[in-house]
Structure 1
């Protein structure tokens, strides 16, 4: 039976019993509500409802070089996308190399607490645009500003101070050959000294930053930077 014939039948019945008009109205309302609910259920979007459904790693191209970076390690939300990028900033817990936990909420009760020690290593990957390579800078630029005397720090690790008044005054250069390490570090003062260590992979420069105090375990630190580099570079990370 079509809707038209049904409506005609209801109209005839209504003329016979004026009070019977409430029945078809209620019936029509029930059918309409049911239809709307069914359509809403079928058309309701299910994508994006699971916040944990994003990719664990992002393939990004920096300076034409492919890296697979852990999504949770990317420090800035604007950089959390695939494809070509000029720069990506990352951080990892040390020594686990897992993405760090989100910072805890600072309240009036905790703002007076002493600052926590830095327990993470920072890594910036940026296109170098044919600038001077880090290893060439260590061999040809830094020696112009270094003091002549070298101070042994640990087995295989040596330190040379930059001259006061030079572009790197107040800093020291730490070097080792096995395993390889080059790190330029500020000195401890009101704030703890920090180091940066750079390396180049094809079209990108990798800059690691970490506390100077970590040089007490410089061999493990060098292996950590190498492991991070191998983990992210290439199609399989």
Structure 2
């Protein structure tokens, strides 16, 4: 009897051990480890992507439509072909090669340079916009530029006596019904050429000058009209600005003509 009880006891113990054996699994199974490693790998890839994407997105947000690329863009405007650096072209939609009705540029004065890391505040900060010159280049639609329109057009729209201004300029007031609002006409003789002519909205005080309150247009190349705007705070440099713009555009003409220096 004693032997039978011991045998039965051993069988019972073995039976309990057999039933409990399947429940004794490893704490970390191979499947769990593989899934964990896969999740870690995915997170690592996402972290790298976010880092790279964040830098790219942040850079483009900070550029705000500007670019510091100096790659040249070749444009055909009317009968002229020109090449301008990307960072001088104002609008992203115009930074592609081919035919164009117009191109808008912005340049620092007096450096005549486009957007860059070293001068980005002059483009980004509206308070510093007076340090920029804005150009709009199109095919000519008129036979005369602003200087050429002085005698046949502007001279018939003036009223009152001419007034000495500064740095060789003379101020002329336009009639109220001429359609030019608060603009005045400034002229100056140019040796060996037609008079310099520019229209401006003069500020009530020098420190209130806007970034583009003076405008003038000139002819360059075969058939280009270059309308440029600058701050009246730079009127003392009128002669240098005019020459710099002629040189800047003329040097980037693929074709040259007698109107290009």
Normalising by the residue count of structure 2, what TM-score does the alignment of the two structures yield? Answer: 0.59
| SS in structure 2 at match of 1:214 | helix
1:214 to 234, 237, 242: 234
1:32 corresponding residue in structure 2: none
2:144 to 133, 137, 141: 133
| SS in structure 2 at match of 1:58 | strand
Greater mean deviation of Cα atoms: 145-154 or 203-212: 145-154
The number of residues matched between the two structures is 177
Displacement of 1:95: 0.4
Q: CA RMSD in A?
A: 3.0
Say whether the 8 Å CA contact 2:73–2:95 is kept in structure 1. yes
Structure 1 residue ranges, 4+ long, deviating more than 4 angstroms after superposition: none
Distance 1:181 1:72 in 2: 29
Distance 2:209 2:166 in 1: 20
Distance 1:230 1:203 in 2: 12
Distance 1:60 1:117 in 2: 26
Structure 1: any 5+ residue segments left out of the alignment?
1-51, 105-112
1:171 corresponding residue in structure 2: 183
Q: How do residues 52-91 of structure 1 correspond to structure 2 at under 5 angstroms?
A: 56-91=71-106
Displacement of 1:99: 0.5
1:224 to 236, 244, 248: 244
Distance 2:209 2:113 in 1: 23
Distance 1:196 1:188 in 2: 14
Normalising by the residue count of structure 1, what TM-score does the alignment of the two structures yield? Answer: 0.64
Once the two structures are superposed, residues 49-97 of structure 1 have per-residue CA deviations (whole angstroms, 9 ceiling, x without a partner) of xxx9x76222211112111212211011111112210000000011001
Q: Which has the higher helix share?
A: 2
Report the CA distance shift for 1:189/1:69 in structure 2 as closer, same or farther (over 3 A): same
Structure 2: any 5+ residue segments left out of the alignment?
1-66
Displacement of 1:114: 8.7
Is structure 2 residue 215 aligned with structure 1 residue 196? yes
1:43 corresponding residue in structure 2: none
